[in-house]
Chains A and B, each alone.
Chain A
């Protein structure tokens, strides 16, 4: 039985990607004319669910009902016909066109050949008036602020003849506080008009204030669905993270040695972006796990890239084992004992067309070769050892790398680095996009590497929980500068969050 109170409902919706399930038998529903927040950690499946409902991607299994009727959403057009519209996080407007042109672009018009600008402008102002927010429909979108562009996106959705469901993917992530207020007012107006809103956001307070229902996703599963007035922030946080919660992976027995790496006044300047790093100074000790915390764009990745010789235009001094190093490229750094595991696993870490074995051995191949010819025996031995050490779950070493789950793919990238016998390992968001179980395995591995294999590790993360549970010391970056260094009892969530938002 399907209740037609539900404007939209999914049954056993599943999306399978090679190696991972992005959605796992999700039964989701939303009551007509309500605001429904969907929350969850990165990679929980929120965006996948929304993209399926908007027809951007197709589900592998499961059913979707709109107002009690089963529908097939094979493409954006199908979804549009069912009255479903999505506003993506990165807005899809044409900055070179005017507001009214943007609102009506792609809409069927009676006169298919000649554009009736006057009528567009008239109708655009009608819609914009409904939103109680004055925007001149003849203005070019490039002249608008981000908040206003968001409103144009909403107007574009409203211009659909029969809009029933509006999906908003993190609409407030790039808005100022005043703009957020305006947007939330508009959301309330839309609700008055009887439109069902699906609202994805990371800002939990905002979620509680605006929504009628809250749905929590975790690792592709729907783990909770509740009326917003029945719950609080703690409830959401607990559901999002799950019972596993925080665990300490710090190894307090290990001996942290003397400085292996010292960075003094590192600055990075790029002509088009200006100063990216400014006077960054820190040291890394033997066997130490140094956490690097900061918001997006704070310069964490750039510090690692400078250390690997991937950036031009750096000033300052870098000492490695008490000797100054300069004019190096990435190959020099790898042979010196540095290795970086990049943030974008798919884009920068893996060769997708190659096997597990070929990926693992990529950086260390010359170790198994005589005169450039690879000895398979030597190579397989090394690979087997590292697979066992890191407990990488694989079928055969000749399987394609993409047959592995995200967590195991990440272990392969780390293993590739370890096979070069590094003494400094730079990990850039190593747990991004891996499921919660694999995350904890990775924490354990990282901790063991520093304690048992005497590796010095820089661990970049934007998740407070994990950085606090793994690091021996934490450096916080804000806008290209170091805004705090914390150790021992000073390593608290409050301290690092405050430092990260320092101006």
Chain B
């Protein structure tokens, strides 16, 4: 009698536990179902690819943000770094670098342009790490500062103007940049492939490497990590540098899509990344989180936004609704921890009786 009771309550608890764990996916499925019923064009291949392309664009900063938030920090500068990166790529392709010693202007091939831009993004991120890890600034303030700086540089590069026609020219030997955002491989856009690659890299680092384990440790308990012999500032240099480089990927994909770069690109994109990370179950207090969760979170936000466009909800209401979803998710996050604690305590009390 007693035994059956126990096993019954146990299964009930594990169902609750499962629902809690899969909550974001459930929300996503519900959203897809609702929009599918309301709109005729929602369930089409073209729309699916469109949604995926939108997700891919933000997934890079989302993955970087997940890393940063797992360490207990935040990176407000990713939107600006994305903007800056587009401008750097645009500058290198359109204007090249003037080197008087070589008697003219040097243009780089597209892969070199991409590499340089990635490095600049990573260096900007590492500057964040310097402020946060070495100078012990609160991440919010440090990255707020670099957010302004990067946006300023983005405008300074062109004097606030747009770099048009990033396709490059035969004569300069720098064609091919537009493939990032407009190319296809096996009929699927290149940016989706890059997203898949980045998800794999991100998840691999977090789950399989020493570095990943240290990233969680730094966010879970900085002091314990330090006393365990982890070089905590090195970990932060990697994490913020990675976030910066991924922001550069987002910036280049965005520029490549339009085959032009504009200095205002990426404004407020950091908020998407943060919202997706939180929706994906990463705790703002650090120490937990998964790349996959963030990508699902991004799908929720994107399906919601794209779906609302398709069914004709005004842009203003879209913002209100997105905000509500994020707030509800966080409230749920706070309470699910309490529910979990209660379940485990109950089980412990029962075990003893």
Contacts and interface: CB of A to CB of B under 8 A. Distances in A.
B344 interface: yes
Given A16-B348, A374-B210, A330 B226 contact: yes
Chain B interface size, under 10 / 10 to 19 / 20 to 34 / 35 or more: 20 to 34
Chain A interface size, under 10 / 10 to 19 / 20 to 34 / 35 or more: 35 or more
Interface stretch (B19-27, B214-222, B251-259, B320-328): B214-222
Nearest to B229: A334
Chain A CB count within 10 A is highest, among B228, B344, B348, for: B228
Interface string B219-255: 1110111111111000000000000000000000000
A12 B223 CA distance: 38
Interface in B253-301: 283, 286-288
Given A330-B226, A351-B225, A353-B216, A374 B209 contact: yes
B296 to A, nearest CB: 20
Given A348-B227, A351-B287, A372 B211 contact: yes
Interface string B184-216: 000000000000000000000000111101101
A72 B245 CA distance: 56
Contacts of A416: 228
B344 A347 contact: no
A18 to B, nearest CB: 7
Given A18-B345, A350-B224, A352-B220, A330 B229 contact: yes
A353 B352 CA distance: 25
A456 interface: no
Interface string A367-381: 001001110000000
Given A349-B224, A352-B287, A358 B344 contact: no
A351 B224 contact: yes
B349 interface: yes
Contacts of A19: 348
A256 interface: no
Contact of A60 (B226, B287, B349): B349
A374 B349 CA distance: 37
B315 interface: no
A366 interface: yes
B209 A351 contact: no
A377 to B, nearest CB: 13
Contacts of B217: 351, 354, 358, 362
A76 B317 CA distance: 42
B228 to A, nearest CB: 4
Interface string B317-348: 00000000000000000000000010011001
B225 to A, nearest CB: 7
Interface string A7-39: 000000000101101000000000000000000
Given A18-B345, A352-B220, A352-B287, A372 B227 contact: no
B209 to A, nearest CB: 5
Contacts of B211: 372
Given A16-B349, A374-B210, A354 B220 contact: yes
A462 interface: no
A369 B344 CA distance: 34
Contacts of B345: 16, 18, 60
A475 interface: no
Nearest to B345: A16
Contacts of B209: 369, 372-374
Interface in A47-100: 60-61
B227 A351 contact: no
A403 interface: yes
Nearest to A329: B231
Contacts of B220: 351-354
Contacts of B216: 351, 353-354, 358
A363 B231 CA distance: 11
Would you call the interface of chain A mostly helix, strand, loop, or mixed?
Answer: mixed
A60 B352 CA distance: 14
B230 to A, nearest CB: 7
Interface in A319-354: 330-331, 334-335, 340, 342, 347-354
Contacts of B208: 373-374
A365 interface: yes
A331 B226 CA distance: 9
B223 A347 contact: yes
Given A16-B345, A372-B211, A374-B208, A362 B223 contact: no
A363 B229 contact: yes
A349 B223 CA distance: 8
Given A351-B287, A353-B288, A372-B210, A331 B223 contact: no
A353 B213 CA distance: 12
B78 to A, nearest CB: 24
B206 to A, nearest CB: 12
Contacts of A342: 224, 227
A298 interface: no
Contact of A353 (B229, B287, B349): B287
Contacts of A61: 349
B287 A374 contact: no
B232 to A, nearest CB: 10
A420 interface: yes
A345 to B, nearest CB: 9
Contacts of B348: 16, 18-19
A249 B28 CA distance: 60
A358 B287 CA distance: 12
A348 B223 contact: yes
A413 to B, nearest CB: 9
A220 B169 CA distance: 79
Contacts of A358: 213, 216-217
B210 A403 contact: no
B227 A353 contact: no
B229 A331 contact: yes
A420 B228 CA distance: 10
A353 B219 contact: yes
Contacts of A348: 221, 223-224, 227
A349 B211 CA distance: 19
A363 B226 CA distance: 10
Nearest to A24: B352
Chain A CB count within 10 A is highest, among B216, B224, B349, for: B224
A21 B349 CA distance: 9
Given A334-B229, A354-B216, 6 more contacts: A21-B352, A308-B227, A349-B227, A351-B221, A353-B288, A362-B213
For the complex of A and B, list the 10 residue pairs with the smallest distance between their C-beta atoms, beginning with the closest.
A353-B287, A351-B220, A334-B229, A353-B220, A363-B228, A365-B210, A362-B228, A353-B288, A348-B223, A351-B221
28 contacts: A18-B344, A18-B348, A21-B352, A60-B345, A330-B226, A330-B229, A340-B227, A348-B227, A349-B224, A349-B227, A351-B224, A352-B287, A353-B219, A353-B220, A353-B287, A354-B220, A362-B225, A362-B228, A365-B213, A365-B214, A366-B210, A372-B209, A372-B211, A373-B208, A373-B209, A374-B209, A403-B344, A416-B228
